[in-house]
Structure 1
Amino acid sequence: SCLTCLSVSAASHMFTPVVISPEAQRIFNEMGGPLEREGNRLWEIILSTMKEVRTLMEEDDSWAIEISRGGGEVHNNTRFIMDCIVCMKNARTSMKSSALSDNTENLGVLIDGTIDYLKSLLFTKSESCSDQILRYLFLLNNSYFVANVVSESSFIDELWDLELELTPECKKYMDSYIDVSWGHVVSCIPKSGFPGPIQRWINTSSVAKFESAFHKTYQTQKLWKVPDPRLRDALRRAITERVISGYRDYLVVHLLLEKHVVRESSRPEVLEGMLGELFEG
């Protein structure tokens, strides 16, 4: 039938290969060569530039000074390297949709390698900081910044905004910071009990030691900075959970609030309010 003939004709037309004239093929070949050379040249420039960046970062002797001066904030070198990574990510995206796609895999490897390099560099340079508390705050701020920029440049910032979920690396640095900075404050509260007058003396002495250690630590870190508001809130909550919760439980168990052993300025809710002022810079 006519319908069958049309169907066969249409089907045969669908599978007819496109014939490119020799002249057109020659033009495509002539275009492809320069484009490939330009792509290779661009890749060599990027690779050479990143090698120079690494050399500059490693030879920079201002890390320790800047870590201390910045109160553990995100270092300018961290921002610079992450700017380079974002540029490489943008270049890789452009290459994927162009004739320069041969080097996209190489660029992806370079991006991942640069991120790993930066993390290692931050840890190494942080060792030059004599203050271990400030060192871990620096590592927390900078590691979080790296993870945040990577997520945003990967177009998954909407997921990032839903709930703050720290990377294992950031969680490790946060725990280390709390251990070295607030651990001695928590240790002022005894865990074992003693009978009679000895216990009352220990209670009074422990509260006084806790108050002193808390206020000293607070004053030392009052002007340090955690620039990201979500990380800042998470860190405050973690300190409150570790420090204030144990302090409050101790006071309740030993009825110290009712006995007015604790001064008004050192009540748990007052100290918790003070923690809410930390890391503003």
Structure 2
Amino acid sequence: MLDFVDAVVDAALDDDQAAAEALPGMLQVYTCVVDDSPAVLTLFKESSFTTSMFDAMNGIFLRKRSKLSDAIWGMMEVVRASFLTNDCWRVSPASAGGVHKTTRLVMIYVMLLWRNEGALNLVLQDQQHRFRMFLSEHHDYCSSSVADLIKKMISSSEKQLEKASNFISDPGLRYIFLMNNFSFISEKFSSLLLPPFEGYKIERSRGSRERLHPMEDGVNQPDPSIRAEIETDSNLDGFIKIQSFMEAYLDASWEPVMSCLYHDIPRGFLKCGRALDRFILEFQRTCATQRMWKVPNPELRKRLRKAIIEKVISGYNQYLTQRLARGKSNRPAMSTPLELEELIEELFEG
């Protein structure tokens, strides 16, 4: 077995391109060495062999373990570095709607790390002097070094996603891209049952007149439909970001539609008779475009549609009410609120 260790390590170190594929096997070999060495050493200790023989055998096992540890850490560094290149996060028109391929690969890698937490904790102990750069400053949130490594990996990936999204020309699609990827990460992260990620703390000492930031208010007094998700999502920081992306998406995609009805809220709705026509045309154009956008997560898709309905349909109803009050209802509206809502329910199917 010990000769086999040398063979697999040499083979792994010869091919950086295969680091990701070879890493699971290397972790299995490392686990075997760690698990089997105590039993083998016990045989030497209980036999008539001299202490020097036992020490020599123990030294061999330690060197093989160290060699495997160095190889595994080197392979992990290769994989980590590959996820930091801009090329792998490049966004094509096809990947703008949906979950980016690299996001999926990162989470597959994260799940591999967590499944091998026991072995990796030993590897990280062997590599303490190299691992210090990855240790979180907030030790209260996580006592597991593997979990810290995972959280650093996810945080880095989220930054890469935000940077990559800047190359998407349509601002609405940019936020859809971010929501798709962040929700995928959050869902996978939560399934690992890790300790909370970047514990989100809200300042409680504000004055009574100071208004909460919308995102903070959403956590303190959440919509009942998402309360359970807030309470159970270990990646609360990711959830908060998704909510902020949703607000930005509504402003980018639907505020221009609503602006057909009004200049700004304090000045009230436009008196121009063509405002309604322009609103309907812009609404239909936006729906036609976004019907082709893909939101694979059904819960996120449902939340997005609900948010659009609350923003657009409520504003449309308000416009029709004021129009009626001003005696501008001499002709029926081109579309009823229910008809517009039905169009919204068709969005994001891809």
TM-score (norm 2): 0.60
Contact 1:43–1:107, Cα closer than 8 Å, also in 2: no
Q: Which residue of 1 aligns with 2:131?
A: none
CA distance in 2, matches of 1:182, 1:28: 73
CA distance in 2, matches of 1:120, 1:155: 20
What SS does structure 1 have at the residue aligned with 2:85? Answer: helix
Alignment of 1:213-228 (within 5 A): 213-228=282-297
Q: Which residue of 2 aligns with 1:91?
A: 116
Contact 2:83–2:106, Cα closer than 8 Å, also in 1: no
What is the CA-CA distance between 1:42 and the residue it aligns to? Answer: 4.0
Contact 1:225–1:279, Cα closer than 8 Å, also in 2: yes
What is the CA-CA distance between 1:23 and the residue it aligns to? Answer: 3.3
CA distance in 1, matches of 2:56, 2:307: 62
Contact 2:88–2:102, Cα closer than 8 Å, also in 1: no
CA distance in 1, matches of 2:70, 2:341: 53
Of the candidates 57, 72, 81, which is equivalent to residue 54 of structure 1?
81
% same residue: 29
Q: Which residue of 2 aligns with 1:76?
A: 101
CA RMSD of aligned residues (A): 3.4
Q: Which residue of 1 aligns with 2:242?
A: 170
CA distance in 1, matches of 2:294, 2:249: 14
Contact 2:313–2:341, Cα closer than 8 Å, also in 1: yes
Contact 1:35–1:100, Cα closer than 8 Å, also in 2: no
Greater radius of gyration (CA)? 1
Which deviations, in whole Å up to 9, do the C-alpha atoms of 1:49-107 show, x marking residues without a partner? 34344335514267232xx21342101110001100111011115656xx778469543
What is the CA-CA distance between 1:32 and the residue it aligns to? Answer: 8.8
Structure 2 CA distance for partners of 1:179 and 1:43, relative to 1, 3 Å: farther
Contact 1:178–1:239, Cα closer than 8 Å, also in 2: yes
The runs of 5 or more residues in structure 1 that have no matched partner are: 1-19
Q: Which residue of 1 aligns with 2:212?
A: none
TM-score (norm 1): 0.74
Q: Which residue of 2 aligns with 1:247?
A: 316
Structure with higher RCO (Cα < 8 A, 6+ apart): 1
Amino acid at match of 2:169: S
Alignment of 1:161-240 (within 5 A): 163-165=228-230, 167-190=239-262, 191=265, 192=267, 199=271, 202=272, 204-240=273-309
What SS does structure 2 have at the residue aligned with 1:58? Answer: coil
CA distance in 2, matches of 1:108, 1:233: 31
What SS does structure 1 have at the residue aligned with 2:347? Answer: coil
The runs of 5 or more residues in structure 2 that have no matched partner are: 1-41, 127-142, 196-225, 231-237
Structure 2 CA distance for partners of 1:115 and 1:155, relative to 1, 3 Å: closer
Q: Which residue of 1 aligns with 2:152?
A: 113
CA distance in 2, matches of 1:53, 1:246: 47
> How many pairs align?
245
Structure 2 CA distance for partners of 1:257 and 1:35, relative to 1, 3 Å: farther
